[in-house]
Structure 1
């Protein structure tokens, strides 16, 4: 049976096992031992899945890193997880590393090899996923073998079947890939790999998914509004469409259900610390006045509490902090026992002593029908395009930039698109948006780069000396990385300038301006392409 489909490459379960065993033996020979971390710096591909399985065969934990992130950040993550080895391909963005580096190629993973026999426990770490950290450095969430199995095998909301084909389009460095890879393989279904160029083109994606008879698709909340119109022919053929990762646009879901309903639509919620998602809502209809889609109910094996500031359950309709307990909880934060103890606390409601619950920081309330509503955050953490972002990490990076004395970062949606805005005080001659952006780009991934940089004489304070967020001004064009204005030339440039202005909330766009430097990103680029197509370009 097919386990992986990557373009024209079709890999059986037997071949997947054999190639992973070959690589596992190479890892052992390089010094990898059970319990170690092995970093993977590979694009989304069949080779990546073989590498993940090979690491697990060694009893080690894989740490999938995003090759698109800045080299300095990748090195910091390698140091933080104390990686015993680095698996990469010939396009590795890191030159010299102080650990065994194994360049892997598909053609070289042949020959006879036996999968290693290692002793594991349910608490053995399967993988580590890094999320943004408020202290200025990312934190690694260590997820156990038991938690992965509890999640991947607990598909009672939509049981995967051997005949299913599941699209693999999540960034491997984030935990949505756990569903797409391990839930698929553990049910004997087939993974259909989607490469990055295909993912960024909704029409090409629709063609790819249709050609490979994909039956299960997970689209993040950020992708759904811009993608579903291009997928309208495919959607009714899907056994299940899953979405989540951020607030889902209720209007888009209503339109999708009215015009191209899949056989089943699931809204999924859950932090990395509770293994991908632990609360699910089957969406059949959307009320006309709905602003949000309910989070839903906990999966079997997971427990959810909404607690007030005294740790007591809240009544229906009353806001409280969402806590998650059960078999899907992560072990904690890698090498950070204090932070683990702060966020993973004893569960006073558990039937068995010694169980823990995770404080999500999300605010929610119970509905009368037994489902949950999401209400926001109780801290500064934000989600931009599905990415968890701690503004404190960006602020710490900004304070290390030349000329910056004070910095605060907030999420604003003045333009109709949620974006990060940095407010800065310091040496005005050194606070040009282009300069700051270029310095940050060496330290932070693209999704953490502010779209605008507002210079202030000093950060505004309330009478009691705290930051006055209400007094932070909306950014104008001076806060953007604009080039000296040169008028667009020709029909296409004028059309592009108009569309950029609408999408980015910029008053005037010149022919030398950079879409991404003005706050553009891949999701907005997709909207731009779609509008150009509608206009006949």
Structure 2
């Protein structure tokens, strides 16, 4: 039984030593080179952090393969990696840093170094290009490998937090291994496959691309962001790299479908189309299905807290244009429980909260016991032994085919442009602006729009987006902004968000 994700890299560094494993626009590495460079980074880390284990290490990432090498280098050292977007606002990096107190950071560019300076980073700095030249300390790496078990943390990815402080979801080796085994075995990936990665490495959707590559021997091609602006070039890229599988955000699938590029430019080698992140309208998916009728189409669903995905649906029937694709049923070694407000299992067509149990359930939120206890809870069906489930906050229902359909969110957390966002985090950032007296966000699902309402002490309008651009990533920017003379409140003294939505609809 595999207990360490690095076993996949070890095996393929022998089986496919000279085969390209990972490639971007500029560089590529074979499996043997990936392993060698990861071991060098792991050796440097071990020496500089005095052989500490199970501690967080920041890895700066962009649309480049260096981040993937950094990830495996951190795992070689017995620690867990935390992807940091090199374009992330300094303030958000600072918040993540303060939660983690990381022991080290792996940087590639001078811009990465400047971010560490701005957040007053006190840990060890590892420069990628220097680290990969370091001598490999095989004795140390073997010692570390003997101590790692499959419930140890593998990575932490930060999601939005309602208090304005991001939450670091900690995922175990076992969660990632089980996901990888299921994906590769169920969808029959092997060394002849070529993956086209669209999802940024600081989002959990990319975990699938990385670990399918590691286990199966497939080549992982990192698609530069520019290709989604010039979709004709995107199709050329997919064909030149002979990409057989894409695992993209729903929004990316829809973007390409709406561009009409598939009318004249077909990705000839694609045989699997996975989509995830938000509900997929059948109308948009039909564009792809008409142009690539022999491909397999798979809807994947799951929050970061359950190791990427917990349900899947292989599209196997016709849908009307106004329907959404179901999220299906549980992945291997995962169980889905849908509870009503009384914590009873729902009946067919009865909406309820989707909850998950299984090896994919995260270890919790790093250094945040209170938030962990809110959503990682005892299975309400019994109290006979410790049986942890994760409450997703997603409202779903079973259809007449026994498939799960997504309905809505339970709270203020929304899916916007493929990202899970706490509206509260946006409000915290807005309220921190001078002259703001109050701010509230609502989400208009039909338009996929975040709408911000705010009031000011002076009564003057402000250039909100300009004032918040250094505090929030772009995908959290409100799509529409309205200045109010007074904020509506309900009888409980809370902002009346129902009234705000009514005002929007007027």
- Note whether the superposition's TM-score is higher than 0.5: yes
**Do residues 299 (structure 1) and 334 (structure 2) align?**
no
1:70 corresponds to 2:89: yes
Distance 1:419 1:361 in 2: 20
- Give secondary structure in 2 for the equivalent of 1:186: helix
Contact 2:48 2:124 in 1 (8 A): yes
Relative to structure 2, which stretch is displaced further, 198-207 or 160-169? Answer: 198-207
Q: Per the alignment, in what secondary structure is the counterpart of residue 57 of structure 2? A: strand
Mapped partners of 2:27, 2:496: distance in 1 = 56
Give the Cα separation in 2 of the matches to 1:262 and 1:344.
Answer: 41
2:161 counterpart of 1:129: no
Which runs of no fewer than 5 residues in structure 2 stay unpaired? 1-15
Q: Which residue does 1:159 correspond to in 2?
A: 188
Cα separation, 2, equivalents of 1:200 and 1:113: 41
Report whether the alignment pairs 1:275 with 2:307. Answer: yes
Task: Choose the corresponding residue for 2:284, options 247, 252, 255.
Answer: 252
Secondary structure of the 2:164 match is coil
With structure 1 as the length reference, what TM-score do the two structures score? 0.83
What's the CA shift for 1:186? 1.5
Partner of 1:373: 405
Among 79, 82, 100, the residue aligned to 1:60: 79
| 112-121 or 347-356: bigger deviation | 347-356
Aligned match of 1:427: 457
RMSD: 2.2
The answer to whether residue 128 in structure 2 is matched with residue 104 in structure 1 is: yes
User: Take 1:255 and 1:134, find their aligned partners in 2: how far apart are those partners?
Assistant: 37
Structure 1 unaligned residues grouped into runs of 5+: 477-537
1:235 shift after superposition: 4.4
Q: Aligned partners of 1:284 and 1:207: how far apart in 2? A: 29
Secondary structure at the aligned position of 2:190 is classed as coil
Asked if residue 468 in structure 1 is aligned to residue 496 in structure 2, the reply is: yes
Which structure would you say has the larger RCO, counting Cα contacts within 8 Å and 6 or more residues apart?
Answer: 2
Count of aligned positions: 471
Secondary structure class of the residue paired with 1:223: helix
CA deviation profile, 1:240-261 (whole Å, cap 9, x unmatched): 1100101112101122212333
Q: In structure 1, what is the equivalent of residue 3 of structure 2?
A: none
Q: Secondary structure at the match of 1:222?
A: helix
Q: Which residue of structure 2 aligns with residue 211 of structure 1?
A: 240
174-183 or 345-354, which moves further after superposition?
A: 345-354
Match of 2:448 among 406, 415, 418: 418
Residues 374-410 of structure 1 show CA distances to partners (whole Å, capped at 9, x for unaligned) of: 1001111111101111111111111111111111011
Aligned pair partner of 1:175 in 204, 224, 230: 204
State the alpha-carbon separation in 1 of the partners of residues 283 and 123 from structure 2.
Answer: 50
Confirm or deny: 8 A CA contact 2:238 2:267 kept in the other structure: no
Q: Pick one of 419, 423, 439 that aligns with 1:391.
A: 423
Matching of residue 27 in structure 1 with residue 38 in structure 2: no
**2:4 corresponds to:** none
Q: Which of the numbers 166, 180, 203 marks the counterpart of 1:138?
A: 166
Report the Cα distance in structure 2 between the residues aligned to 1:467 and 1:58, rounded to whole angstroms. Answer: 49
